[in-house]
Amino acid sequence: MDASELLPISQFLHQLVPFNSLSDATLERCCRALTVGYYSKAAKYVPLDESHPQLYIVRSGVFEVRDQDEELIDRLSDGDFFGFPSLLSGEKISNRILILEDGLVYHLDPDTFNALRSESREFDRFFNRAFAKRLRHQGRFKAIDLGSTNRVSSLMSKQPLTLDCHATVTLAARCMRDARVSSVLLMDNHKMVGILTDRDLRNRVLAEGLDASLPAHQAMTSQPVSLHSSALVFEAMLLMSEHNIHHLPIVDDGEPVGIITSTDILRSQSSQPLLLIGEIERQNSVESLISVSKQIPLLLQNLIGADARAEEIGRILTSVTDALTRRLIVLNEQILGEAPMPYCWLAFGSQGRQDQAACSDQDNGLLLAHEMDDYAKAYFHTLTKAVCAGLDSCGYVYCPGDIMAQNPKWQMSLKQWQQKFKHWVERPEPKALMHASIFFDMRCVYGASSLFDSLQSEVLASTKDNDIFLAGMAINSLKVSPPLGFFRKFVLERDGQEVKGIDLKHKGNALINDIARVYALSAGIKEVNTAKRIRALMEKNIIHRKDALNLADAHEFIAHMRLSNQGYQFTHGEPLSNFLKPQQVSSLVRHQLRDAFKVVHDAQAGLKLKFTRTL
């Protein structure tokens, strides 16, 4: 090639990781070694020569990597690569490359590829990481059974059968028969008011000897449980299990857009998380629960290996914790007898936010209908001690700060909890603000949810637009900064002579949790999950859309890095921690991590400007 032909190739590779790490002379040598291929969609597949493996660099077009069973492994476009697994492993080419759009592809011969690997550590590490990721993606579709991390929209029956609620049961049954479905959604003025299923017809009409000419609304299930189409299949399965239903309407913006049934779910891949929760709910002793809980680390590794989003992993792991908590409560209630009053088991901190990972400890409390007499004190003392001990035995260690339901300090009536929160809000002293960062992320796990609703409503009413309290919360959250020093270099934690690394939890995700919490309390938003808080703040235009999306992306990326790092630690037999050593990841990942911490830094500056100006 002459200089004019090399220039566009050089310019393209110069901006492409990992080729941008090569010296100018090496990059020119690489460009001269390239050949160019044009692949037409009409050919369907890229012809791969097993006797001559190459690195393929996509210059334009769209391609899919599929295995021998036509299962999707990866989708590729400008700047992506294929062919490197065979170059790295020496094994025969086993995947096929489907051409979705016509494209140009650069070819790099194996001798030059291996020379670049030996000359550039960054180049070599990049393709080794890409190979590992490709293997994980193959595992995502083949080895790991995690259909529950799919979206409801992928399984639901679209355009569900609907009928006016005043139509007769006979007409409803005929419509269901003709459509070959087992349910119909009943509407009134374009609004879903109920669902009529085969079971309703059997139990509420035929078994009661009623006339089939009665209006369908008299036999329907009113205001059925529903879910939105972007929810996880896992959430649908959990909801159907909790309410003992077999049909779940899918509703977006008040409009029914589909329905998912237990049959739909059975046809899909089985769900490890739901199977584990089902197994938890079947146990009849603390010992058996402890045994079942030993599967949780493997579940976490499978979720990490499946490249699930950190937000989804947090919700799934928290659902398992919730199930363990509920089962421990039920088993101990069976021993102690009926509780002397309605109560609610509260989860705080990471369990409250539904973002648990490895190394989670307990943060919980007890909300009671009214103050306890001596009998109630003895009952709840025994119950809470047993439940907290059971959680500790299942891997959820006792809270170092003793914020647990077994501590009499955190066993209070609704009125007492309301007074406690009022004291924290009206007197935002350092200790009160420290408590606020834990207790304001609360959720009802078991018991009388009406008690929780009453508490949360009063708490949010007291914090909304409360300038002094919010300023104190903001100042408290700004005491810790992201680990970036001069020239955006990482500031590493040290333990004596040992470099522990970057604290991804306390110097990353926890800071974003703090930011979202202050904004949410200022606006009276009920959501406690950080990602949901950020979305709600964006929808209410409290945080600018671009800033909210950047903050949500930073939260997800840092959490994903934390989980991936813990997955690495687990597989290498290392103690699990929140510390990442920068040298263990590529320059590209370090660059992305610096960008994420910069977003956190900017969000802290915005928080300071908005909430501390009055001080």
Say which CATH number the domain at 305 has.
Answer: 3.30.460.10
Q: Which of 229, 225, 182, 221 shows the shortest CA–CA distance to 204?
A: 221
The contacts of residue 461 (CB under 8 Å, 6+ apart) are 524
What is the model's pLDDT at position 144?
A: 33
Residue 469 lies in a domain: no
Identify whether residues 242 and 186 lie together within a single domain.
yes
How are beta strands 96-101 and 62-66 bridged, if at all? antiparallel
Running along the chain, 615 residues long, what does each successive block of 10 average in pLDDT? 77 91 92 94 90 91 84 82 84 86 94 90 81 53 41 82 95 92 93 93 89 92 90 78 85 91 64 77 92 86 75 90 96 95 96 87 95 96 97 93 95 96 88 83 94 94 92 92 77 70 92 96 94 94 91 92 86 84 79 89 94 76
Same domain, 240 and 295: no
Using the 3D structure, point to which of 398, 428, 463 is the last residue of a domain: 463
> What element of type H or E holds 277?
helix 272-282
Task: Give the Å distances, CA to CA, from 70 to 55, 87, 148.
Answer: 22, 22, 22
Cα Rg of the chain (Å, integer): 28
User: Do 316 and 241 belong together in one domain?
Assistant: no
- The answer to whether residues 536 and 411 belong to one domain is no
Distance in angstroms (rounded) separating the CA atoms of residues 391 and 244: 26
In a domain, 297, yes or no: yes
Q: Does residue 26 contact residue 34 with C-beta atoms inside 8 Å?
A: no
Give me 608's structure tokens. 């300071």
> What is the C-alpha to C-alpha distance for residues 187 and 278, in angstroms, rounded to an integer?
34
Q: Are 64 and 74 in contact (CB under 8 A)?
A: yes
What is the distance between the alpha carbons of residues 154 and 151, in angstroms, rounded to a whole number? 6
Instruction: Give the predicted TM-score (pTM) of the model.
Output: 0.62
Q: Single out the residue in 123, 141, 159 at which a domain terminates.
A: 141
Length of the chain: 615
Asked if 316 and 457 sit in the same domain, the reply is: yes
Task: Report cis status (omega within 30 of 0) of the bond before 428.
Answer: no
Number of Cβ atoms within 10 Å of the Cβ of 208: 8
Tell me, yes or no, whether 189 lies in a domain. Answer: yes
Choosing from 109, 141, 173, the residue where a domain stops is 141
Query: What is the number of other CB atoms lying within 10 angstroms of the CB of residue 97?
Result: 22
CA distance 146 to 593: 28
pLDDT of residue 241: 74
Give the contacts of 497 (CB within 8 A, at least 6 positions apart).
none
* Within-domain flag for 267: no
Whether residues 104 and 225 fall in one domain: no
| Domain that residue 225 falls in | 149-258
- Is 264 a domain residue? no
CATH code: domain of residue 123: 2.60.120.10
Number of domains in the chain: 4
Q: What pLDDT shows up at residue 148?
A: 45
Residues 483 and 554 in one domain: yes
Residue 319: CB atoms within 10 A of its CB come to 20
User: Do 199 and 131 have their domain in common?
Assistant: no
CATH number for the domain including 482? Answer: 1.20.120
Q: What percent of the chain is predicted at pLDDT more than 90?
A: 56
> Can you tell me the distance from the alpha carbon of 491 to that of 314, in angstroms, rounded to the nearest whole number?
27
| H-only helix segments in 195-251 | 198-200, 233-243
pLDDT of residue 599: 93
Together in a domain, 185 and 311: no
In a domain, 265, yes or no: no
541 to 452, 535, 545, 547: CA distances (angstroms): 28, 10, 7, 11
Which residues are bridge partners to 106 per DSSP?
36, 57
Are 76 and 19 in the same domain? yes
Gap between the Cα atoms of 504 and 98, Å rounded: 39
Burial class (CB within 10 angstroms; exposed 0-12, middle 13-18, buried 19+) of 472: buried
Question: Do 290 and 406 reside in the same domain of the chain?
Answer: yes
Does a structural domain hold residue 263? Answer: no
Dihedral sign (CA 607, 611, 614, 615): negative
| Cβ pair 222, 250 in contact under 8 A | no
The CATH number of whichever domain residue 192 belongs to comes to 3.10.580.10
Same domain? For 355 and 385 the reply is yes
